Structure 1
Amino acid sequence: MSVAANKETRGFQTEAKQLLHLMIHSLYSNKEIFLRELVSNASDAVDKLRFEALSDDSLFEGDSDLRVRVSFDKDAGTLTIADNGIGMSRDEVIENLGTIAKSGTAQFLEKLTGDQKKDAHLIGQFGVGFYSSFIVAKEVEVFTRRAGLDKSQGVHWQCTGEAEFTVEDVELENRGTRIVLHLKDEQLDFADNWRLRSIIKKYSDHISIPVEMQKVDYDVSDDESEKKADAAAPEWEAINSATALWTRSRSDVSDEEYKEFYKHVSHDHSDPLDWSHNRVEGKLDYTSLLYVPARAPFDMYNRDAARGLKLYVQRTFIMDDAEQFLPLYLRFIKGVVDSNDLSLNVSREILQKEANIDAMRSALTKRVLDMLSKMAKNDAEKYATFWKEFGQVLKEGPAEDFANREKIAKLLRFATTHNNTAEQNQSLEDYVARMKPEQKHIYYVAAENFNTAKSSPHLEVFRKKGIEVLLLSDRVDEWLMGHLMDFDGKSFQDVGKGALDLGDLDTEEEKKAQEESAKAHADLIDRVKKALDAHVSEVRVTHRLTESPACLVVGEHDMGAQMRRLLEQAGQKVPDSKPIFEINPEHPLVTKLDQEPDEDRFADLAMVLFDQAHLAEGGHLEDPALYVARLNKLLLELSH
């Protein structure tokens, strides 16, 4: 069989087809960024060749002059981006260009809103740079051969942006990848020397390898220049500075250059919120450039998704997602770390055993937290944007990073009864500053959602006394509080757990009245305990309620309702526990209950109060139909 005979037509993976459709319909408002994406991919391919060649220099095939070349043919209406990097095999072409090998693709597509501006940001976060070719091209051809494979194992991929693509074997003299864009009629202005040069200079100046175009003779006319180029082998010249941006002095790098480099390393089309560029010399010698994105990626809550920094050793690319340099709760940070203290043959396995990594990880973690602290202090609006996108991830920090627990705690933001809005914009420092002089605890309530937390009956005595309470409704909140323990010498206390002791916030008169009320209603407590014995661990007179008839309280050492629901949803077995039932003897319904002589009717009333208390905290009844039947029965009796 001849080399070119092995040709096949294949259909796109469904998700790839949907993304392709989005690209063709010009989600990007700034069309020229397709070139940035393709040059960035070409640069990555060169980096990967350089890394693989560390252990096998035969992959260079006698050509170690690494570069990316951009050329065009105005008459043919084509634009070509070529690199002499690692290249692809036939299987890699089918996998990389015909499918999107990322977990969570379906969830990503579900997030698309139909709003082009919003969806463009999502597309950028997903990182589908190659597909941006179809913004300007009616047809795309890829010619590629993986370094080290025989010349006969080249591959030609072709697609017109429809549902199918073709793949065939071709003979290719040179390793690497050449992408030929057949430009749409309305995009032919991209086949222009000056425009291409300005785009490369704008978007790719930071790339550490040369991005070349054919040399232009400025002393002759365009026609003469083209004739000279036809007559002799073309001369190429670098358009970019070809200096790794992170190796330059901070004073020599503009904000625009930092932003463009972020887009290169992150494949995000939005500007970053902030960045930190730092060189460390001494016991350790390394450079870091760390970015805080403006938007969370679609797979932020997949803790197994690829994450980490681009790792370079002595300016040589080693790996894309070196996760060892930052803890998991900072997995949203993007950037580069370049070390002079690691060996060039470092691998993920070696990194885990490398003694210097722990010191670098500790220092880089501190740098990120300091960057966030500075943002929170100096730009509240920008920090609010950060918190909205990444706050729930940062809440994982106290459990994972004991050493920085206090530093992380200062960065946390909460909704509270101070302003009663769902916006999480109050810090623990704000809360402590507003605490009453005699207050010893930071109080919080955890619920399934904000409205349930805000309306919790457990807040009644706190509202009456003007004591602020944190309103927690994120899935991670109760787990967070299990590891946060205290802040600024004040311990945290769940207002819905255990016996409520307000300490000096209660007057001696109030404490005495509570004791007398418990004694006065001892018989009522016994009757309710008997009626609800199968459902509760204890019944007692409440100190929490001022308006509601009853509430449920979790035992001091039992798991909270929010955490219980979270684990149950994850399919984990949760230990059985019964709540404590607190009643408010001052409430008319409880007074009525106390006066009920019929024990069956008493039991029905007590059960209705129990179920209502369960509903008030966002719980789900075991038998809703029975609750409705009891309630209807009591309503009918009242109507006679």
Structure 2
Amino acid sequence: MTTTDTAAHTQPFQAEVSELLHLMVHSVYSETDIFLRELVSNASDACDKLRYEAIANPALLGEGDALKIRIAPNKAAGTLTIADNGIGMERQELIDHLGTIARSGTKAFVAKLKEAKDGLGLIGQFGVGFYSAFMVADKIIVISRRAGESDVWTWTSSGGSGFEIARAGEEDAGRVTRGTEIVLHLKDDAKKYLETYEIERIVGAYSDNILFPIELVPEEGEPRQINSASALWQRSKSELTAEDYKKAYQQIASAFDDPAMTLHYRAEGRYSYAVLLFAPSAKPFDLFEPSRKGRVKLYVRRVFITDDADLLPGYLRFIRGVVDSEDLPLNISREMLQNNPQLAQIR
């Protein structure tokens, strides 16, 4: 199949995705706010990835707008749009990322979701947040242009057995100059998410500490930023409350429980870095899986590097959090962190 073909092509979902979508669409959850948190988190990741790739290839950033996330409700059309100007996706990436679940444990997730009274926590644990949008939308359109590419692609699905991939029309291609735009056609019982106060409430609760500005684009009035966009771990402990730490933990870890323990400090000296780590109060589903990896995010000067840097010993792989270095070389980061006496209290 060549990329010069302009016709839409229908493709089936991976078997596990089809079953997952069936559960998402037909289940009644006590809380559906999760979808916006997950889509905003994905948009933030896309901006992080662009900043990282732009270290080696600055041309990817071009001369466009500063990295940000936009949320635009449209009551007349019944749509909610979440857009970012991050890394974007090409055709095959749309298929791979939105049509399959590559992470191991998908079958276990589906089984647990069937058993659970409410699957919100499981969604965060298994990294299938995009599909939570089908709880509130009966149709989703994703328009994306990868940074540095000329082609713009549209991914469309109604949550059935498959999805369509096609080249974007002229209007969409002109609007999405880089990044990804997700248009949710909301179900009748989810129209409350078109209200600006609902959007602000959810962003304030779950996404206030996202590092990129989240801009609300109301149907009337001027766009405005609705999050603080600050790196909480770079702030002084004296400025923060227990509620601040709880929100940061839930946002960083995609969790709904409270942190059982918080460790926050700055190291100054030959190398400088900030550490914000949390121990969950709820036992992770795969706590005793030998293949389970850590989930501590590594930043360098607020630029996301990886969430798989293996910064802590294997027996601490349930810990969640962030390490943000000003000048810490990656080749010695693990040794320094593991030998740091301030980590001894959680070993």
TM-score of the pair, normalised by structure 2? 0.91
Q: Secondary structure at the match of 1:108?
A: helix
Report the counterpart of residue 278 of structure 1 in structure 2.
265
Q: Secondary structure at the match of 2:159?
A: coil
Q: CA deviation at 1:214?
A: 2.8
1:335 aligns with 2:321: yes
CA distance in 1, matches of 2:100, 2:19: 11
CA distance in 2, matches of 1:13, 1:96: 11
Report the counterpart of residue 74 of structure 1 in structure 2.
75
Q: 1:550-571 CA distances to partner (integer Å, 9 max, x unpaired)? A: xxxxxxxxxxxxxxxxxxxxxx
C-alpha change, 1:54 and 1:159, in structure 2 (3 Å) is: same
* 1:254-293 map, 5 Å: 254-293=241-280
Does the aligned pair in 1 maintain the 2:294–2:312 contact within 8 Å?
no
Report the counterpart of residue 132 of structure 1 in structure 2.
132
C-alpha change, 1:113 and 1:214, in structure 2 (3 Å) is: closer
1:158 aligns with 2:122: no
Q: CA deviation at 1:159?
A: 1.0
Q: Secondary structure at the match of 1:54?
A: helix
Q: Secondary structure at the match of 1:53?
A: helix
CA distance in 2, matches of 1:254, 1:38: 27
Q: 1:242-280 CA distances to partner (integer Å, 9 max, x unpaired)? A: 111111222322333322222322223333322211111
CA distance in 2, matches of 1:6, 1:295: 48
Q: 1:565-623 CA distances to partner (integer Å, 9 max, x unpaired)? A: xxxxxxxxxxxxxxxxxxxxxxxxxxxxxxxxxxxxxxxxxxxxxxxxxxxxxxxxxxx
Report the counterpart of residue 311 of structure 1 in structure 2.
298
Does the aligned pair in 1 maintain the 2:144–2:153 contact within 8 Å?
yes
**Which has the higher relative contact order, 1 or 2, with Cα contacts under 8 A spaced 6 or more apart?**
2
CA distance in 1, matches of 2:293, 2:62: 31
1:55 aligns with 2:53: no
Report the counterpart of residue 214 of structure 1 in structure 2.
217
Structure 2: gaps (5+ residues): none
Name segments (4+ residues, structure 1) moved above 6 Å.
none
Q: 1:462-520 CA distances to partner (integer Å, 9 max, x unpaired)? A: xxxxxxxxxxxxxxxxxxxxxxxxxxxxxxxxxxxxxxxxxxxxxxxxxxxxxxxxxxx
Report the counterpart of residue 145 of structure 1 in structure 2.
145
Report the counterpart of residue 236 of structure 1 in structure 2.
223
Q: CA deviation at 1:304?
A: 3.4
Q: CA deviation at 1:183?
A: 0.6
Q: 1:144-164 CA distances to partner (integer Å, 9 max, x unpaired)? A: 1111111xx211111111111
CA distance in 2, matches of 1:271, 1:162: 35
Identity, in percent, stands at: 46
Report the counterpart of residue 30 of structure 2 in structure 1.
29
Report the counterpart of residue 345 of structure 2 in structure 1.
370
CA distance in 2, matches of 1:141, 1:282: 49
CA distance in 1, matches of 2:154, 2:293: 29
Q: Which amino acid is the alignment partner of residue 247 of structure 1? A: Q
Alignment match of 1:295 (pick from 245, 257, 282): 282
Report the counterpart of residue 97 of structure 2 in structure 1.
96
TM-score of the pair, normalised by structure 1? 0.51
1:361 aligns with 2:347: no
CA distance in 2, matches of 1:27, 1:55: 46
Report the counterpart of residue 47 of structure 2 in structure 1.
46
CA distance in 2, matches of 1:83, 1:253: 29
Structure 1: gaps (5+ residues): 216-224, 230-234, 344-350, 372-407, 409-640
Alignment match of 2:190 (pick from 141, 164, 187): 187
Report how many aligned residue pairs link the two structures.
341
Q: Secondary structure at the match of 1:200?
A: helix
Bigger share in strand: 2
Q: Which amino acid is the alignment partner of residue 107 of structure 2? A: A
Does the aligned pair in 2 maintain the 1:129–1:267 contact within 8 Å?
no
Q: Which amino acid is the alignment partner of residue 361 of structure 1? A: Q
Does the aligned pair in 2 maintain the 1:277–1:289 contact within 8 Å?
yes
Q: CA deviation at 1:26?
A: 4.1
Q: Secondary structure at the match of 1:46?
A: helix
CA distance in 2, matches of 1:102, 1:310: 18
Does the aligned pair in 1 maintain the 2:142–2:154 contact within 8 Å?
yes
Q: Which amino acid is the alignment partner of residue 100 of structure 2? A: T
CA distance in 2, matches of 1:303, 1:87: 33
- Which of structures 1 and 2 has the bigger CA Rg? 1
Q: Secondary structure at the match of 2:308?
A: strand
